[in-house]
């Protein structure tokens, strides 16, 4: 048990003690008490400080309340410990805190890990009905739902269900460990407690700071009773009436090593008003992704305060759970693949910055993005090859819209013609846009992403020409090959910071790049004729840019490295690996222009 | 129809205008009756019955109805997919009614886009169609080739951010010629098209083939000729992800030397045109 002075507490928080059921709970409050109350419940082996960064971000909009669960942080522990941590008693604690901080209005609950496990109990028992306005759950299922989940898979074991059971069973190793007497306490008070911060930093990339607090060994030792008092009982006899009486937002970190995403299959049956979110991160999201959590909590709380049904305010497009509310910047968004990508992200509920050197078409993309689901969208006019302009853009975006979560470096120009016909001017132009544009984008926005330290993703539009030599496109192919290599190097560099990098290699796609391509070594009239012919060829192929946009979103969700899109791009990619000689022979053919 | 009488419509044009007005009245009447749960088939039947009651006996083609993402012809591959299905209308869903009745020997072919309740995206598509109506008329008056005009419409759609959905029509047509139809006692139809009208179209195609023009306005080589005098049912069709919108109405092309008289829309008092005027007045 910690005493005052050992933990630093949360900056600017007003603290008070709430007495209930023989324990004293340490309650911290931030923000304006007249605003809606958001109550954050921490998990195991944490104390309320795990929330400090999220709380800070929520405090200017809401009345934020945190408390140390009994036996954790600065709250006192029950005597005796056995039987003192049942979900019933934890519910008593919650009601006492809620009554103290928001006596006449329901509170918005947010729980992480065991905080979420408890909160599921709060939100599904009768006596708290009307006290909870909404519940955001992360990394902590209801024990009752979990019990039913296991039962369902045990009674009708198909190979898949057995696989799911074994998978989750393996992830839950620590639950069995915590059921052994005394040993866990000894470990936590001894070496494990000492090593824990380092383990967190290494495994979870949790940045150093005010967490974990020095009360960790005793928190962890006491908290073992959370498992011992509840898990076996609920697994054996899960409640059958565990239906949520408030809207639920479920946030699932895809890299959680303790919980599989499968656990939440069919959760709609228990929580009718369910909004799903997924985030590419590990277990300790309150520490590693505070911006994203604060944004989603704010959205969810606000929409439930306004009385707007949440399902309407959530975009319905593909991957909406992943991109809802995120900030996506796309260059070359005035037409073709860039524009289609902007629309696809907009349908997924992302906020879109559409960048193009043509102001009118950038504005048009932004306007249409808003119509298909983007909560906000802006058009920006920049030539990506202009370093200073890009710097200004990066500053402006960071200042006015925020740090970009997904960057799509898509702007590019076409150039065709033999090497000997290609002038150094031509070379300069195509490299300036196709390669330097990507370099500027990655450098400026990638740096912002890395500095924020909360992950992100960069997509670079390369081309099938990046690995398919051709005597018709020496300069273009060279620029795109460079983009491909740049992406792969950057991917290696940024992997450690949770930032993914993907290179997209579309192939022949029906966009206006053919109509604006420069053909070196021919006069204007011949150039026009070739542009027309190329456009017609691409039109006949008629591969829609929308499909490339889908591939881009999928690449971000799955964090794919290199994505050839059209069948011919995939074929060429295979050939470049297994039969490069054949590809070189094809390169010698005269293209039909 | 070799020359237009200035200021006054010939009797023949009045006949076409009458049936076009009737068809649009039908579209508005049926659209007003649509409510959640109505299927495309029911909507098509409502159009058919409404026009039958008012004396329509033959069709250029039977009435169609498309709801929801079918308005954008999403994944249309074979012509059978044009026929009405059991898709049910839901609040906020866009719909298109398309019919081509024959009345007293005159034909019209119209398309009416609407929406059940509010849908800002659909509104946007509808108002963006205005630029296409202007572009079509202007370039026909300039006597550009039909293929060129087609490509310009296509470019405008791309600039607006839309996909060209009339590409999904047979031969990718944006318009086709229509003409008078002989009234017969029996008016059989095959695959939804009236046999009398098809006969007319076929004979046009044969004559046109000899003289180097086509009754179909398409992106292909056979449309590489200036507009042929006659009546054209023009139907630019915008698609944007799961939403589509179009209008279809008759454009009169004559061989007059006066640009104003060389081409004009048969009627400017149509629902979509009135809508644009109201939008402008409100702005």
DSSP characters over A194-207: HHHHHHIIIII-PP
Substitution target from B161, B242, B244 for chain A, most A beta carbons within 10 A: B161
In percent, the amount of chain A with pLDDT more than 90 equals 79
* Residue A290's pLDDT band (cuts 50, 70, 90): very high
Strand B263-265 with B249-253, pairing: antiparallel
CB atoms within 10 A of CB B79: 12
What is the structure's pLDDT at B5? 47
pLDDT the model gives residue A101: 95
The rounded distance, in Å, linking the Cα atoms of A425 and A427 is 5
pLDDT at A315: 78
Burial letters B183-209, b for 16+ CB under 10 A, else e? eeeebebeebebbbbbebbeebbeebe
Four-residue CA torsion sign, A483, A489, A491, A493: negative
Give every CB contact of residue B106 below 8 A, 6+ residues apart in sequence: B12, B15, B16, B18, B19, B180, B181
User: What pLDDT does A309 receive?
Assistant: 55
Which chain A residues touch B158 with a CB distance below 8 Å?
A: 335, 512
Share of chain B above pLDDT 90, in %: 65
pLDDT band at A313 (very low <50, low <70, confident <90, very high): low
Across the interface, do B161 and A368 touch by the CB < 8 Å criterion?
A: yes
- Angle, helices A114-124 vs A216-236, to 10°: value is 50
Structure confidence at residue A312 as a pLDDT band (50, 70, 90) = low
In this complex, is the C-beta atom of A333 within 8 Å of any C-beta atom belonging to chain B?
Answer: no
- What is the widest separation between alpha-carbon atoms in chain B? 52
Q: Do B121 and A339 make contact, defined as CB atoms within 8 angstroms?
A: no
DSSP state, residue B226 = P
CB atoms under 10 Å from CB of A470, counted, come to 17
What residues have CB less than 8 Å from B221, skipping those under 6 apart?
B147
Choice between A446 and A259, residue whose per-residue pLDDT is larger: A446
* List of chain B residues whose C-beta atoms are within 8 Å of the C-beta of residue A365: 161
Q: What's the burial of A82, exposed, middle or buried (CB within 10 Å: 0-12/13-18/19+)?
A: exposed
Q: pTM of this prediction?
A: 0.91
Provide the pairing of β-strand A518-519 with A415-416: parallel
Contact A371 B158 (CB under 8 A): no
pLDDT tens across A155-188, in order? 988 999 999 999 998 988 888 888 888 999 999 9
Determine how β-strand B94-103 pairs with β-strand B106-107.
Answer: antiparallel
Is 70 exceeded by the pLDDT of residue A311? no
Handedness of CA A385, A388, A392, A398 (dihedral sign): positive
Question: What are A283's two structure tokens?
Answer: 């277990």
Question: Which single residue is written with the structure tokens 């060129």?
Answer: B148
Q: Residue A339 is nearest to which of B121, B124, B161, comparing CB atoms?
A: B161
Are B161 and A364 in contact (CB < 8 Å)?
yes
Q: What is the pLDDT of residue A375?
A: 94
With CB atoms and an 8 Å threshold, state whether B241 touches A371: no
Cross-strand partners of A137: A111, A250
- Give the 3-state secondary structure of residue B146: helix
Q: Residue range A471-490: average pLDDT?
A: 96
Number of neighbours of residue B91 by Cβ within 10 angstroms: 11
Distance CA A457, CA A414 (A): 26
Q: What is the DSSP letter of A280?
A: S
Q: Give CA–CA dist A81/A494, Å, rounded.
A: 45
- Residue A515's pLDDT is 85
List, for residues A560-592, the tens digit of each pLDDT value: 999 999 999 999 999 999 999 999 999 988 877
- In what side-by-side order are the strands of the sheet with B263-265? B216-217, B175-178, B230-234, B249-253, B263-265
pLDDT at B6 over 60: no
| Dihedral-angle region of residue B117 (phi above 0 means left; psi in -120 to 50 means alpha; beta otherwise) | left
Name the token pair of A350: 């992302």
Give A241's pLDDT tier (boundaries 50, 70, 90).
Answer: very high
- Distance of residue A534 Cα from the nearest chain B Cα, in angstroms: 15
Beta strands in A23-116 (DSSP E): 23-30, 37-41, 63-67, 107-112
Contact A105, A129 (CB under 8 A): no
How many Å apart are CA B248 and CA B237, to the nearest integer? 9
Tokens linked to A479: 């620029």
Tokens in use for A219? Answer: 């928190």
- Specify the range with the lowest mean pLDDT, choosing from A287-301, B4-18, B71-85, B155-169: B4-18
Residues of A marked active site are found at 476
Give the rounded percent of residues in chain A with a pLDDT score beyond 70: 97
Separation in Å, CA B67 to CA A94, B32, B91, B128, B169:
50, 15, 11, 20, 17
Say whether pLDDT at A112 is over 90.
Answer: yes
Which residue, among A249, A321, A254, has the nearest Cα to A283 in the 3D structure? Answer: A254
In the sheet with B243-246, reading across from the earlier edge strand, the strands are: B163-164, B237-240, B243-246
Quote the pLDDT of residue B171.
84
What is the token pair recorded at A144? 């009752």
Share of chain B above pLDDT 70, in %: 97
pLDDT for the residue numbered A387: 96
User: CA A270 to CA A370: how far, in whole Å?
Assistant: 33
B97 closest CA partner among B65, B52, B61, B129: B65
The answer to whether residue A368 neighbours chain B at the CB level (below 8 Å) is yes
When pLDDT is cut at 50, 70 and 90, the band that residue B1 belongs to is: very low
Contact B185, B164 (CB under 8 A): no
* A369 Cβ under 8 Å from any chain B Cβ: no
Say what the pLDDT of residue A110 is. Answer: 97
Is residue A460 scored above 50 in pLDDT?
yes
Least confident interval from A160-164, A407-411, B41-45: A160-164
Closest-CA residue to B126 (of B282, B281, B271) = B271
A361 at B interface, C-beta within 8 A: yes
- What's the Cα-to-Cα distance from A583 to each of A480, A481, A541, A590, B268, rounded to whole Å? 17, 15, 21, 14, 59
> Sorting pLDDT into bands at 50, 70 and 90, what band is A3?
very low
Using CB atoms within 10 Å of the CB of residue A433, give its burial: 0 to 12 exposed, 13 to 18 middle, 19+ buried. buried
Is beta strand B189-190 parallel, antiparallel or unpaired with respect to B230-234? unpaired
CA angle (A35 as vertex; A32, A36 as ends), nearest 5:
130
> DSSP 3-state assignment of A296?
helix
> Can you tell me the mean pLDDT for B158-163?
92
A8: pLDDT confidence band, cut at 50, 70 and 90? low
Q: Is the pLDDT confidence value at A457 over 80?
A: yes
- CB-based contact A335 B160, cutoff 8 Å: no
**Neighbouring C-alpha atoms within 13 Å toward the C-beta of A177:** 13
User: B163 at the A interface (CB within 8 A)?
Assistant: yes
Closest CA to B73 of B198, B163, B197: B163
Angle between helices B120-141 and A359-372 (to 10 degrees): 140
Tell me the mean pLDDT in the region A225-254.
94
Q: Are A374 and A345 in contact (CB under 8 A)?
A: yes
CA distance to partner chain B, nearest, from residue A311 (Å): 15
Q: Tell me the range of A517-526, A534-543, B42-51 where mean pLDDT is highest.
A: B42-51
Contact A81, A225 (CB under 8 A): yes
d(CA B277, CA B283): 10
Alpha-carbon distances, residue B3 vs A308, B6, B8 (angstroms): 61, 9, 12
Closest CA relative to residue A389, chosen from A327, A459, A437: A437
User: Residue A19's beta-bridge partner residues?
Assistant: A24
Torsion sign, CA atoms A111, A117, A118, A123: positive
pLDDT exceeds cutoff 90 at B250:
yes
Q: Return the number of other C-beta atoms located less than 10 Å from residue A43's C-beta.
A: 25
pLDDT tops 90 at residue B237? yes
Whether B3 has a pLDDT exceeding 50, the answer reads no
Interface A:B, Cβ pairs < 8 A? 23
- Where is pLDDT greater, at A12 or A140? A140
pLDDT tens digits, residue range A359-402? 999 999 999 999 999 999 999 999 999 999 999 999 999 999 99
A371, A375, A516, A539: best to mutate for the B interface, most B CBs within 10 A: A371
pLDDT of residue A248: 96
d(CA A366, CA A378): 5
C-alpha to C-alpha distance for A4 and A11, rounded to whole angstroms: 15
Indicate the average pLDDT of chain A: 92
Q: For A32-61, what is each residue's pLDDT tens digit?
A: 999 999 999 999 999 999 999 999 999 999
Which pairs count as long-range contacts for A374-378, CB under 8 Å and 24+ apart, including other chains?
A374/A345, A374/A346, A374/A349, A374/A350, A375/A325, A375/A349, A375/A351, A376/A351, A376/A352, A376/A401, A377/A342, A377/A346, A377/A351, A377/A352, A377/A353, A378/A352, A378/A353, A378/A354
pLDDT at A2 over 80: no
């Amino acid at each position: 048990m910690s005493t005052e002075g050992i933990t630093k507490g949360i900056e600017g928080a007003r603290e008070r003690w709430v007495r209930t059921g023989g324990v004293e709970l340490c309650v911290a409050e931030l923000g304006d008490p007249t605003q809606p109350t958001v109550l954050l419940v921490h998990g195991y082996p944490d104390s309320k400080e795990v929330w400090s960064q999220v709380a800070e971000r929520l405090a200017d909009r809401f009345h934020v309340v945190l408390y140390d669960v009994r036996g954790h942080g600065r709250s006192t522990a029950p005597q005796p410990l056995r039987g003192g941590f049942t979900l019933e008693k934890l519910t008593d604690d919650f009601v006492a805190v809620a009554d103290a901080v928001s006596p006449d209005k329901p509170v918005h609950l947010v729980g992480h890990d065991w905080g979420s496990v408890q909160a599921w109990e709060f939100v599904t028992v009768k006596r708290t009905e009307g006290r909870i306005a909404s519940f955001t759950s992360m990394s902590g299922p209801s024990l009752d739902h979990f019990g039913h989940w296991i039962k369902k898979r045990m009674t009708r074991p198909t190979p898949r269900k057995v696989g799911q059971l074994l998978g989750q069973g393996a992830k839950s190793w620590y639950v069995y460990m915590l059921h052994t007497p005394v040993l866990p306490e000894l470990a936590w008070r001894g070496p494990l407690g000492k090593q824990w911060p380092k383990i967190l930093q290494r495994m979870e990339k949790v940045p150093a700071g005010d967490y974990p607090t020095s009360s960790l060994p005793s928190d962890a030792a006491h908290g073992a009773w959370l498992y011992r008092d509840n898990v076996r009982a609920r697994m054996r006899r899960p409640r059958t009436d565990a239906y949520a009486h408030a809207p639920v937002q479920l946030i699932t970190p895809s890299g959680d090593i303790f919980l599989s995403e499968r656990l939440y299959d069919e959760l709609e049956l228990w929580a009718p008003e369910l909004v799903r979110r997924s985030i590419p991160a590990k277990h300790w999201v309150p520490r590693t992704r505070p911006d994203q959590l604060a944004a989603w909590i704010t959205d969810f709380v606000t929409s439930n305060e306004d009385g707007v049904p949440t399902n309407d305010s959530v975009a319905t497009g593909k991957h909406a759970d992943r991109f809802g509310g995120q900030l996506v910047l796309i260059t070359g968004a005035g037409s073709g693949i860039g524009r289609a990508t902007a629309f696809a992200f907009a349908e997924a509920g992302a906020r879109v910055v559409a960048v193009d050197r043509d102001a009118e078409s950038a504005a048009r993309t932004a306007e249409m993005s808003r119509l298909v689901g983007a909560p906000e969208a802006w058009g920006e006019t920049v030539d990506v090859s202009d370093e200073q302009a890009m710097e200004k853009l990066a500053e402006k975006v960071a200042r006015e819209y925020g740090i970009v979560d997904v960057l799509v470096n898509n702007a590019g120009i076409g150039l065709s013609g033999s090497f000997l016909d290609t002038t150094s001017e031509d070379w300069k132009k195509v490299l300036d846009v196709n390669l330097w544009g990507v370099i500027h984008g990655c450098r400026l926005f990638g740096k912002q992403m890395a500095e924020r330290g909360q992950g992100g993703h960069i997509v670079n539009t390369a081309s099938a020409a990046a690995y398919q030599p051709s005597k018709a496109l020496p300069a273009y192919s060279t620029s795109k090959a460079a983009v491909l290599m740049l992406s792969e190097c950057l991917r290696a560099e940024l992997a450690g910071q949770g930032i993914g990098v993907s290179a997209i290699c579309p192939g022949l796609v029906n966009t206006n790049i053919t109509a604006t391509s420069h053909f070196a070594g021919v006069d204007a009239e011949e150039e026009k004729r070739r542009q027309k012919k190329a456009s017609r060829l691409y039109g006949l192929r008629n591969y829609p840019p929308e499909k490339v946009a889908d591939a881009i979103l999928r690449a971000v969700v799955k964090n794919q490295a290199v994505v050839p899109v059209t069948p011919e791009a995939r074929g060429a990619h295979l050939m470049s690996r297994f039969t490069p000689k054949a590809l070189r022979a094809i390169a010698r053919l005269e293209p039909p222009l | 129809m070799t020359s237009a009488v200035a200021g006054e419509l010939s009797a023949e044009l009045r006949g076409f205008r009458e049936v076009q007005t009737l068809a649009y009245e039908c579209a508005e009447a049926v659209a007003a009756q649509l409510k959640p749960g109505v299927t495309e088939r029911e909507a098509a039947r409502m159009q058919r019955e409404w026009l039958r009651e008012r004396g329509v006996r033959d069709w250029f083609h039977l009435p169609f109805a498309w709801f929801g993402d079918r308005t954008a012809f999403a994944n249309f591959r074979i012509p059978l997919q044009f026929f009405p299905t059991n898709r049910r209308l839901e609040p906020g869903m866009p719909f298109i009614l398309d019919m081509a009745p024959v009345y007293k020997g005159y034909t019209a072919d119209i398309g009416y886009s609407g929406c059940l309740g509010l849908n800002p995206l659909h509104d946007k598509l509808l108002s963006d169609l205005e630029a296409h109506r202007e572009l079509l008329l202007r370039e026909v008056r300039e006597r550009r080739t039909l293929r060129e005009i087609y490509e310009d419409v296509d470019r405008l759609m791309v600039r607006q951010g839309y996909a060209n959905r009339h590409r999904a029509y047979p031969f990718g047509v944006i318009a086709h010629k229509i003409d008078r139809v002989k009234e017969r006692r029996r008016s059989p139809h095959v695959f939804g098209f009236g046999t009398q009208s098809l006969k007319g179209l076929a004979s046009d195609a044969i004559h046109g083939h000899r003289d180097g023009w086509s009754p179909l306005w398409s992106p292909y080589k056979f449309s590489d000729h200036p507009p042929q005098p006659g009546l054209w049912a023009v139907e630019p069709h915008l698609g944007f992800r799961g939403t589509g919108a179009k209008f279809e109405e008759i454009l009169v092309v004559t061989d007059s030397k006066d640009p104003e008289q060389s081409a004009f829309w048969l009627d400017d008092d149509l629902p979509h045109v009135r809508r644009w005027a109201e939008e402008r007045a409100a702005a």
